[in-house]
Amino acid sequence: MSDNIVYIGKKPVMAYVMAVITAFRDNPKQVVIRARGRSISIAVDVAEVTKNNYLSNITDTVTIGTEILESDGGTRNVSTIQITLNKSHEA
């Protein structure tokens, strides 16, 4: 049983769409997409492409937040997004 969290980085959108589809194979009910900073817009693309083109009966719940990162002896804030994809029972 693989992890049901897909972390978004700098790869092309389709790489993460494939990761989400694979994660749903092991976790049929729920997969979570997480990103921070400039990768947030990629995370939304991944969720939308997955829902619109590859999987049916998916609903999403989106939450945003802020993480504090240590950098160069100081700290800086970075925005985060978590998109939870839930697959509802198919009719």
Interface with a second copy includes 50 (CB under 8 A)?
no
Q: Least distance in Å: CB of 52 to a second copy?
A: 6
Interface with a second copy includes 29 (CB under 8 A)?
no
Range 54-57 contact pairs with CB under 8 angstroms and sequence separation of 24 or more: 54/17, 54/21, 55/21, 55/24, 55/85, 55/87, 56/90, 57/87, 57/88, 57/89, 57/90
Count residues binding a second copy (CB under 8 A).
Answer: 22
Interface with a second copy includes 5 (CB under 8 A)?
no
Beta bridge partners of 1: none
The footprint of a second copy (CB under 8 A) covers 37-41, 44-45, 47-49, 52, 60, 62-66, 77, 79-81, 83
